[in-house]
Amino acid sequence: MAKPSVAFVGAGAIGAFFAAHLIDAHSADVTICVRTPFTDLVVESEATNTAFVATGDALVGPPPQRLALRSTPTVLTDPADVRGPVDWVLLATKGPQTEGAAGWLHALVGPATKVVVLQNGIEHEERVRPYVDAAVEIIPAVVYCGAEVVAPGHIVHRTNGFLILPAGPSGDQLVALYADARAGIRLADDFTTASWQKLCGNVVANGITALTERRMEVMRRPAIAAVGRALLTECVAVARAHGAVIEDSYADLVLSGIAQMPAAAGTSMLYDRLAGRPMEQDLLYGAVGRAARRHHIDTPMHDTFAALLAAISEAPEPD
């Protein structure tokens, strides 16, 4: 029986991590679709903790690990080289790059293809639906994986390493594909809560590290942690109005988990700013603000962060 065909669109930190582990599991025929070609895929894991997830024993991270995965995968750089639809597309570009991935989606996605969106935020289907047929299943994923690109096809992995998907038949199928992998797939009956918990965690540190150009050690400063708590308080209020079930103790859990993360760890927005790429302020702070307005909740901290980060991210190129 032929193995399922899986295409990863984007091989940044997240795409490279989950592609490498699926290749290592030998459970699928994997293709990686990128703009910048590479030959060897290398994932060096320095993970010594699993940070935090507050949704029960079924959603904890993998055990601490130190390992290196190396492979020579099939890498494509032009959608014209795609030979037809695949069974699965794991879209691992950054949110602002979704439109740029349209050519890959058109080439890879057929009526039976399942598209899993490995992006930050809570508006996965809204971002991807314009580029695929209305009948195609789009599956949002919550990503817990702290990793950094050091060169094309080469990443360093520091914390966590799993996805959370909505419970259901498609989720069960992806769990089976990753059954022998050291990266994990978890399923959530209450995906709304799982996705908002991740968003709450993201807004605490992403904007702060990007604005300060500091790694996670900056969050150990009491005054900075207080800013993070103010963001978290706003986000939790919006999450609850949106139907997420988040306990009062969650803020302390998030801040404690962040304080315990490796000092050298960063955030996706920090890495984007350091590399001069557009940042994802609209997927995080903008998404909270949009949801807040629907529920008539004021979010001055999120509005401020969205404005400051947009001024940096959308700055014109120097002459």
Buried b (16+ CB within 10 A) or exposed e, 206-243: bbbbbbeebbbebbeeeebbebbbebbebbbbbbeebe
| Res 194: pLDDT | 95
* Same domain membership, residue 170 and residue 54: yes
User: At which of 172, 189, 206 does a domain end?
Assistant: 189
Give the CATH number of the domain where residue 279 resides.
1.10.1040.10
Encoded tokens for 21: 């582990």
Nearest to 274 by CA among 229, 216, 209, 224: 209
Same domain, 183 and 217: no
Q: Is the pLDDT of residue 264 over 90?
A: no
Residue of 3, 94, 114, 198 marked active site: 198
CA distances from 17 to 121, 295, 307 (A): 19, 37, 31
Please indicate, yes or no, whether residues 176 and 225 belong to a single structural domain of this protein: no
**Quick one: average pLDDT of 159-177?**
95
* 65 lies in some domain: yes
Q: Is residue 235 domain-shared with residue 263, that is, in the same domain?
A: yes
- For residue 80, being part of any structural domain is answered with yes
Which of 117, 130, 112, 106 shows the shortest CA–CA distance to 8? 117
Question: Across-strand partners of 69?
Answer: 43
Q: Of the candidates 174, 189, 204, which is a domain's last residue?
A: 189
Q: Within this chain, do residues 153 and 43 fall inside the same structural domain, yes or no?
A: yes
Do residues 81 and 196 both lie within one domain? no
Residues 105 and 167 in one domain: yes
Task: Mark whether 277 and 199 lie in a shared domain.
Answer: yes
272 token code pair? 């984007």
Listed range (10-19, 122-131, 250-259, 301-310) with the worst mean pLDDT: 250-259
For the chain, the domain total comes to 2
Q: Does residue 11 sit within a domain?
A: yes
Tell me, yes or no, whether 100 lies in a domain. Answer: yes
- For residue 94, give the nearest of 129, 122, 120, 132 by alpha carbon: 120
Q: What is the dihedral of CA 165, 167, 161, 184, to 10 degrees?
A: -130
Residues 226 and 269 in one domain: yes
Q: Give the CATH number, domain containing residue 161.
A: 3.40.50.720
At 263 the pLDDT is 85
Q: Would the pLDDT of 50 be above 60? A: no
Which pLDDT score is estimated for 62? 45
pTM above 0.95, yes or no: no
Do 47 and 181 share a domain, yes or no?
Answer: yes
Instruction: Summarize the confidence of residues 101-122 as an average pLDDT.
Output: 97
Closest CA to 144 of 31, 40, 54: 54
The domain of 34 spans 5-189
Q: Which residues are paired to 185 by β-bridges?
A: 163
User: What pLDDT sits at residue 117?
Assistant: 98
Is 319 part of any domain? no
The angle formed by the CA atoms of residues 222, 228 and 232, to the nearest 5 degrees, is 140
Closest CA to 191 of 250, 145, 143, 141: 141
* Residue 318 within a domain: no
Residue 120 covered by a domain = yes
**Does residue 278 share a domain with residue 141?**
no
**Are residue 244 and residue 138 in the same domain, yes or no?**
no
pLDDT band at 248 (very low <50, low <70, confident <90, very high): confident
Within a domain: 294: yes
* Domain endpoint, select from 138, 155, 189: 189
Our answer to whether residue 198 is catalytic in this structure is yes
Q: Please, which pLDDT band fits residue 7 given cuts at 50, 70 and 90?
A: very high
Q: What is the dihedral of CA 154, 159, 164, 169, to 10 degrees?
A: 60
- Residue 267, helix vs strand vs coil: coil
When pLDDT is averaged across residues 11-33 and rounded to a whole number, the result is 95
Query: Averaged over 58-86, what is the pLDDT?
Result: 78
